[in-house]
């Protein structure tokens, strides 16, 4: 699986959009970008995933650059409950579906 690089931490004001970058410059054509988050020792929570096109669901939007070497997760209106560690994972859908978690980005939403 391709490696990802994320900033270790970032702050965000409540009610503002949070833009979380992820670099995956070695991604190959059949690898997906997945985002999970973990709120203080709870089980990780699936957020969104994409291959080439931008994706949006009720939780977030995922913007993938045209060359697919980087992506941005957007939380449109951050709340205090969005404070968590966010993991960007590049994932190849094969028989081996294990997720390789890195250190992630610790996002703190401040009132």
Partner 1 sequence: DSGVTQTPKHLITATGQRVTLRCSPRSGDLSVYWYQQSLDQGLQFLIQYYNGEERAKGNILERFSAQQFPDLHSELNLSSLELGDSALYFCASSSWGYEQYFGPGTRLTVT
Q: Cα 54 to the chain's mean position, in Å?
A: 13
Angle at 1 between CA 72 and CA 4, to 5 degrees: 35
Residue 40 beta carbon to partner 1: minimum distance, rounded to whole angstroms: 11
Q: Which of residues 39-78 bind partner 1 (CB under 8 A)?
A: 41-46, 49
Instruction: Find residue 23's DSSP bridge partners.
Output: 5, 70
Q: Which of residues 6-45 bind partner 1 (CB under 8 A)?
A: 32, 34, 38, 41-45
Sole window of 11-19, 22-30, 62-70, 98-106 interacting with partner 1 (rule: CB under 8 A): 98-106
98 near partner 1, rule: CB under 8 A: yes
Which C-beta is closer to partner 1: that of 41 or that of 53? 41
Give φ, ψ of 29 to 5 degrees. Answer: -60, -25
Q: Which residues bind partner 1 (CB under 8 A)?
A: 32, 34, 38, 41-46, 49, 87, 91, 93, 95-103
């Amino acid at each position: 699986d391709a490696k990802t690089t994320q900033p270790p931490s970032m702050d965000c004001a409540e009610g503002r959009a949070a833009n979380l970058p992820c670099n995956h410059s070695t991604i190959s054509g059949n690898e997906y970008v997945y985002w999970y988050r973990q709120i203080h020792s709870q089980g990780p929570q699936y957020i969104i995933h994409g291959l080439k096109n931008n994706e949006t669901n009720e939780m977030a939007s995922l913007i993938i650059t045209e060359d697919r070497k980087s992506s941005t997760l957007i939380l449109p209106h951050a709340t205090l409950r969005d404070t968590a560690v966010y993991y960007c994972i590049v994932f190849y859908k094969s028989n081996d579906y294990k997720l390789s978690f890195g250190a992630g980005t610790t996002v703190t939403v401040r009132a």
